[in-house]
Structure 1
Amino acid sequence: MSESINRVVLAYSGGLDTSVILKWLQQTYNCEVVTFTADLGQGEELEPARRKAEMAGVKPEHIFIDDLKEEFVRDYVFPMMRANALYEGLYLLGTSIARPLIAKRQIEIANMVGADAVSHGATGKGNDQVRFELGYYALNPDIKVIAPWREWDLTSRTRLIEFAEAHQIPVAKDKRGEAPFSTDANLLHTSSEGKVLEDPWEEVPDYVFSRTVNPEDAPDTPEIITIDFERGDAVAVNGEGLSPASLLAKLNDYGRTHGIGRLDLVENRFVGMKSRGMYETPGGTILHLAHRAIEQLTLDRGAAHLKDELAPRYAELVYNGFWFSPEREMLQAAVDHSQAKVSGTVRLKLYKGAVHVIGRKSPNSLYSEKVVTFEDDQGAYDQRDAAGFIKLNALRLRLLGRRDR
């Protein structure tokens, strides 16, 4: 320890790692620890975290358990969905998009309680350490950050358990020995990685999946749903208006039933290594495809194609932890401007792991049946205009051809 820390805000789940970190911070820095547990819809009972923090000596007024589900979906998931962001073309960024909100709230609490440091439980091998800390520094450039996994000598699960038992920290029975895999969950997704998933040749075991039924066991009858959009955001399912978090939860239920949203991915981490993860994003998968469908009707070709060019860059910024960067905010402004007319209804068929768009309509549609029809268009389009259009576009190709013939 090289710095004097008086009070630190710890991102705390109540699990083995952060329970050990809490005690380690108290011992190593001789400081007061404030715990912060975010309810992002992970589906777990969070009150045990409060009891564990109290048992570890944290003052009741310094235990924060905050319901952030609506803020999470409204201010983080929905803006990302407007951008159609997919990391490496596939990943819907469920873990990545949660980190800036956790970091933001940690800094807010640090300001409230007069803490001079924040801490997290992310390891030195992963992306989350980068995401948390870039968020901290963007929001408070002078904050001190403690990353125990980069400091301590508890380098294995066995060492953690030994430390926990030596300090009377409860250890769940299923945590004794090596865990089969690690998970992270929120309202958007569940991710699993490590151990049984580390060999990319081996199929993901059935017991790893927690958010979706096996598509092979999903209902044999398709289900039809509709999603209404206003200015790029989903506002209703089957005509029922819902808050952002309630809407995503509703789509999660449909996705679970029909086995939608499973992804087995070998990705490139920001820190340089490849990792294999299994992601379940049931509602997000439905929402992503529905949003693209309503944009098909309402976005001009130039805007749509530009968005497709910007989406990978946007996704990379989110994945790498640059949510609070000026470039992400610039991209968001462009994306949000494009959504002014993205309103309407999409009809989808859900069936055995797949989402099929089967209809879309919008009061702002740019689709003209009169222009596109194969029947008599009654003068809406003069087909002779295409000749000059083709000749102009072919001019450079003809010049190249004559030169190189």
Structure 2
Amino acid sequence: MSEIRKVVLAYSGGLDTSIILKWLEDTYHCEVVTFTADIGQGEEVEPARAKAQAMGVKEIYIEDLREEFARDYVFPMFRANAIYEGEYRLGTSIARPLIAKRLVEIANETGADAISHGATGKGNDQVRFELGAYALKPDVKVIAPWREWDLLSREKLMAYAEEHGIPVDFKKGKKSPYSMDANLMHISYEGGILEDPWAEPEEEMWRWTVAPEAAPDQPTLLELTYEKGDIVAIDGNPMTPAQVMELLNKVGGENGIGRDDLVENRYVGMKSRGCYETPAGAIMLRAHRAMESLTLDREVAHLKDELMPKYAEIIYNGYWWSPERQMMQKMIDASQENVNGKVRVKLYKGNVIIAGRQSDSDSLFDESIATFEDDAGAYDQKDAEGFIKLNALRLRIAARKRG
């Protein structure tokens, strides 16, 4: 502990990280640098500055990382159509490598000896933060208080806060019974009644989306413009990646898009039930596949689909900075060179409906060949007979052997 003189703490300004701040000072007798990131969680981050100052912190980092998060993490992930275990759109997972990167960078800038986070010893986030940190700074010291202290109940945390004069903001109002995490990609809910997989979520839990049955009776139409696999405009209006996500979250939420209730396999070995709201992600995933359906070669598309579960697992498990993810990303990005055009989506009562897709320069769809009408010789149907017989050869041989 004597080797730890300065620690960079991922600090939200909430109860847990405020307690961690004081605990680090008391346990390690060190100076604490706080880092608070705005990655689109929808809450003001500046109050964290006042809280950190009130606790005597001298070096305070408050950063708006929304554009970097959307551009360099979310958009590359969606070029791969990544989804974990067929359901989870990786909203929490994809935010962790960026936070890990900034923790390491700030540690280098300030000469800190260690970094610290508030992830518990039961979850995936501890793995994601620390794998990212070690990949970028191999000798970094990581302090994870939840794995060291004995403040393992809400009562003990409250008693520690009272003893050390740490403000407890949620006394001012009703506290949510759920553990929540939000960013531009999603908001997640765990704990409370959700610990029973049979219990249906309460309607008042959801914050970003209306219930599909309560959504407007008229659909919302959007036209998404793609360049190299990324949305660059909506309804003809150029937008940055973060602006795209903010708009899609708003419009998608109004139409009941993006609710998920699932049981997932955590990397640490247990199953966990969680609920998620991912309006922009639901729209982006559906629309991107529609754009690729016109512009990707069949075998390229199928190869991407074979690799996607592995790519998603890499992100879920915290290996964003690994050589295998970087290798796969280069291949995925290369596949997007001709994913250009427009997709029209219809949002209606929880559904993302593809209402049209076009690509003037890169479409591989040839109407003269695909038509059921007279194709004027573009495709000789007689060729199909030999194709079928060649592909049936092994099946016919096996059938004859069976008698």
> Taking structure 1 as the reference length, what is the TM-score of the superposition?
0.98
TM alignment of 1:335-354, pairs within 5 A: 335-354=332-351
Displacement of 1:215? 1.1
Alpha-carbon deviations, 1:129-184, whole Å to 9, x = none?
00000000000001000000000000111111110011000012359998511100
Are the structure 2 counterparts of residues 159 and 53 from structure 1 closer, same or farther at C-alpha, using a change threshold of 3 Å? same
Which SS does the other structure have where 1:37 is aligned? strand
Q: Which residue of 1 aligns with 2:32?
A: 33
- Per-residue deviation, 1:90: 1.0
CA distances 1:366-393 after superposition (whole Å, capped 9, x unpaired): 0011101111000000001001111110
Given that 1:189 and 1:282 are in contact with CA atoms closer than 8 Å, whether structure 2 keeps it comes out as yes
Aligned to 1:54: 53
Q: Note the C-alpha offset of 1:46.
A: 1.0
The equivalent position to 1:276 in structure 2, one of 269, 273, 276, is: 273
Matched residues in 2 for 1:118 and 1:179: separation?
Answer: 29
Is residue 2:273 matched to residue 1:255?
no
Structure 1: stretches of 5+ with no match in the other structure: none
Of residues 210, 215, 222 in structure 2, which corresponds to 1:213? 210
Deviations 1:36-58, CA, capped at 9 Å, x for gaps = 00100101011111111111110
Counterpart among 377, 384, 402 of residue 382 in structure 2? 384
Unaligned runs of 5+ residues in structure 2 are none
Alignment partner of 1:130 out of 127, 131, 156 = 127
Query: Matched residues in 2 for 1:145 and 1:173: separation?
Result: 29
Correspondence for 1:76: 73
Q: Which of 180, 193, 197 in structure 2 is aligned with 1:196?
A: 193
Q: Aligned partners of 1:238, 1:257: CA distance in 2, in Å? A: 18
TM-score under structure 2 length normalisation: 0.98
Partner-residue secondary structure (3-state), 2:73? helix
How many residue pairs match? The answer is: 402
1:112 to 106, 109, 113: 109
Q: Tell me which amino acid in the other structure corresponds to 2:209.
A: T
* Residue identity matched to 2:38: D
| 3-state DSSP of counterpart to 1:252 | helix
1:312 equivalent among 309, 318, 328:
309
Q: 2 CA distance for matches of 1:145 and 1:212?
A: 37
- Partner of 2:161, secondary structure, is helix
Q: Distance in 2 between matches of 1:240 and 1:127?
A: 38
Q: Deviations over 1:244-291 (max 9, x none)?
A: 101110111111110100000100000000000000000111111110
Which residue identity lines up with residue 52 of structure 2 in the other structure?
Answer: A
For the aligned residue pairs, the C-alpha RMSD in angstroms reads: 1.2
Whether 1:296 and 2:254 are equivalent positions in the alignment is no
Partner of 1:396: 394
- Quote the Cα distance in structure 1 between the aligned partners of 2:205 and 2:267: 25
Alignment of 1:360-379 (within 5 A): 360-363=357-360, 364-379=362-377
For the residue of structure 2 that corresponds to 1:355, the secondary structure is strand
AA aligned to 1:193 is: E
- C-alpha distance in 2, partners of 1:376/1:176? 70
Match of 1:153 in 2: 150
The runs of at least 4 consecutive aligned structure 1 residues that moved more than 2 Å come to 172-179
1:88 aligns with 2:64: no
Deviation at 1:207, TM superposition (A): 1.6
Q: Would you say the 8 A contact 1:262–1:281 is kept in 2?
A: yes
Alpha-carbon distance in 1 for matches of 2:333, 2:11 = 34
Higher deviation after alignment, 174-183 or 74-83: 174-183
| Cα pair distance change 1:179/1:220, threshold 3 Å | closer
Aligned match for 1:162, one of 146, 159, 162: 159
1:9 aligns with 2:22: no
Q: Which amino acid aligns with 1:73?
A: A
Please give the alpha-carbon distance, in whole angstroms, between the structure 2 residues aligned to 1:167 and 1:281: 38
1:234 is paired with a residue whose SS is strand
Counterpart of 1:390 in structure 2: which amino acid? Answer: I
For residue 396 of structure 1, what is the amino acid of its counterpart?
Answer: R
Alpha-carbon distance between aligned partners in 2 of 1:136 and 1:174, rounded to the nearest angstrom? 35
The C-alpha deviation readout for 1:30-84, integer Å capped at 9, x for no partner, is 000000001001010111111111111101xx10010000000000000000000
Residue in 2 that maps onto 1:102: 99
- The question of whether the paired residues in 2 share the 8 Å contact of 1:157 and 1:178 is answered with no
CA contact (8 A) 1:260 1:353 kept: yes
How many angstroms apart in 2 are the aligned matches of 1:177 and 1:359? 45
2:134 counterpart of 1:140: no
Instruction: Indicate the residue corresponding to 2:23 in structure 1.
Output: 24
Partners of 1:173 and 1:285 lie apart in 2 by 32
What are the within-5 Å matches in structure 2 for residues 169-184 of structure 1? 169-174=166-171, 180-184=177-181
Q: How does 1:329-340 map to 2 (within 5 A)?
A: 329-340=326-337
Q: 1:55 to 1:125 in 2, by over 3 A?
A: same
Measured in 2, the distance between the counterparts of 1:81 and 1:90 equals 14
Residue 196 of structure 1 deviates from its aligned partner by 1.8
TM superposition shift of 1:299: 0.3
